[in-house]
Each structure stands twice: as C-alpha cells, then as structure tokens.
Amino acid sequence: MTDKPSRREFAKVTATLAAAITFKPFYILQAKPRSNGEIIGHGSHKYRVQQGWGNLDSSKFPVNNCHEMVQDSKGRLLMIGDEVKNNILIYDRSGKLLDSWGHDFPGGHGLTLWNANGEEFLFICDPNTGKVFKTDLKGTILLTIEHPSKVGAYKESDAFKPTETAIGPDGTIYVADGYGSQWILRYTPKGEFIDKFGGAGDGDAQFSTAHGVTVDYRNKANPTLLVTSRAHNSFKRFTLDGKYLNTMFLPGAFVCRPVIKEETLYSGVCWSRLRYLNQTNDSGFVTILDKNDKVISNPGGTQPEYRNGQLQLMVQEKPIFMHCHDVCVDNDKNIYVCQWNAKKTYPVKLERV
C-alpha cells in the first residue's frame, strides 16, 4: 500500500505549486506600458531603458527580426537580421546609422566577431540556407561552411540549420547546429571538419536547441566552451575538445547566446515560463551572471532568488521586452538588446546607471 501524505505535507506541496504557477499577475494580453526612461534590473546592475535608440527610417532600412549584435575594435555596433534589403546595420553608440550591407542571408541569424591579431572578421550563420560564412567587415565572403554531409559528418537527410559560431584560441571554428541536428561541430581555421559532439537529447552532454556557443576566457589558464541548451533553460560547459563539465540551470529562462564582458556573463532570454510554467510568448527579459555563475540581475525579469543555494524560477516581471534574442555590451557596460518576433522593432539600449 502506498503511504498517503499527511494533511500538512499536502498543504505545503499545494502552496509551493500555487506560488510557482501564480508567480505574477498575468498581463500578457494587456497593453504594453510606456517604459522609455524606466530603470530596471537589480543590485549593482541597473539600467535605464532607451526604447528609441536604434530607430531608423523603415522604408529605407527595414528590419524583420533583429537577431544579434557585436562591437568591433572601433566601437561600431554591427547588427544582423533576416531582412535581405540590409542584413547588416552598423550603428555608432548614439544610435546613428553608419553603414549597411548584406542581401544574401535570408535567415541572417548568428553574428560572431573574431579579432585575429588585429584583423577582424565576421562569422555569419544562416539557418535558412544551411551555411556559415566568414566575411570581412565590409561583407566580402572569404570562407563558406556547407552541409556537414559534404565532409561525411552528417547524412544528407540530416537537418543542418546553424545558429551560432565561436572561435577558439587556436582559430578552431565551433558551429552550433541549434535549429538542426543539435551538434556542435569543430572545424580548422581553413574550414576543414575536425569532429562533433553533443546531439539531441536530455543527457548532460546533449542539447535541446543548441542555440548559442562562446569561448569563456575568464579562467585564462583554462578556457572552456559554453553552449546554450535553450529548451533545457541552461548553459552547458565543455572543454575545448568537447568533453562535458557541468550545467548552469536557469529555471524559467529560455536563454539565447552567452555573452561575456570582462568577468560577467549576459544573455537575452527569449521566453520565460509564465502561464502554467509553459514557454510563453512575449515574456522575454535579460539575465546577468557573475564570474561564479550566480545570477545577479534580471533586467525586465523577476529579482533572482536563491534558496539553500538553489536558483528559483525566473520569469518576466514587466512587459518591456517581447523576445530578447541577443545582447551586446559596450565598454561602459551599456546593453543593446536585439529582439526576435517583436513587431519589426529596432534594438533597445539599456543605459547602465
């Protein structure tokens, strides 16, 4: 016979579930409040919202989804989107448009900047065409990585929809097949296939939406690889040759690419688990972790809380963002937020206060 819980135990469990599911009043269908100038975030990481920062004339420089942004050595902010009239928009920090280019990336998604001893290159991922492109900063294509079946790494029938790249200290190219078959593929600097690791699944070393990848240099003697497993609400850490180390579980947060600036890790959260703990539309925010992988601020989200060392559920607190797809952090620690599925709006700036 199965033991029945006591009335006190049953009440405790019921209260815990109710608290999680009714975290905040549901405002998803309500009108979005005016948030320009509002201060959001927690602790020492608070920001003033500048919603009109990146606005342009949409008849000349339209956007569909603002996917990712990087900053080059000149301080320019380069953003990629999937609008082929101008895949790349280049801003200065005031929000002024400096340049635009790119008409060949219908799924323009991942954008990685690689500084190779003072010479800068971009790596562009296009899941629609199933290709990765290395370009110079003016858009000239220098290298193309195509479907892995061409090098025997996939079957021809396997989906290849790359979402992100990272470049290792020796020039190794890491490609995250985040919308495809969930592998992290390694290539030489010349684009020659080395190997792959991960794959789809719920194992520690596997992924569910391997959306982002970056090299973590904060331990200079032992750099590691951080890979997003978005549907698992986590980042997973690996050695540079693909051996699993540990998982950063971020309950409630469907995180995108991990972005590291000095000792701090930042990420856009595309969705959170609002209604009945399900992935909920228009529920994004930004999350920020310290060098010890502890969440210290959630601009637009609920204040991070730890109980007995365990991070509690994090969700959107204010409907400032819809779907935060990426962040870029400048040298003054301001954050620029790119959004997917956000009514064709331009990036939002969060000014550090």
pLDDT at 34: 62
Burial of 249 (0-12, 13-18, 19+ CB in 10 A): middle
Task: Write out pLDDT tens, residues 239-288.
Answer: 999 999 999 999 999 999 999 999 999 999 999 999 999 999 999 999 99
Name the least confident of 34-48, 120-134, 224-238: 34-48
State the pLDDT confidence band at 1, using cuts at 50, 70 and 90: very low
Instruction: Judge contact between 235 and 211, C-beta under 8 A.
Output: no
pTM greater than 0.75: yes
Answer yes or no: is pLDDT of 30 > 50: no
pLDDT at 35: 81
The whole-number average pLDDT for the span 200-205 is 98
The whole-number average pLDDT for the span 13-33 is 41
- What is the spatial distance between Cα 271 and Cα 230, in angstroms, rounded to a whole number? 10
Query: Helix (H, G, I), strand (E, B), or coil: what is residue 15?
Result: helix
- DSSP-assigned states of every residue in 83-106: -TT-SEEEE-TTS-EEEEE--S-T
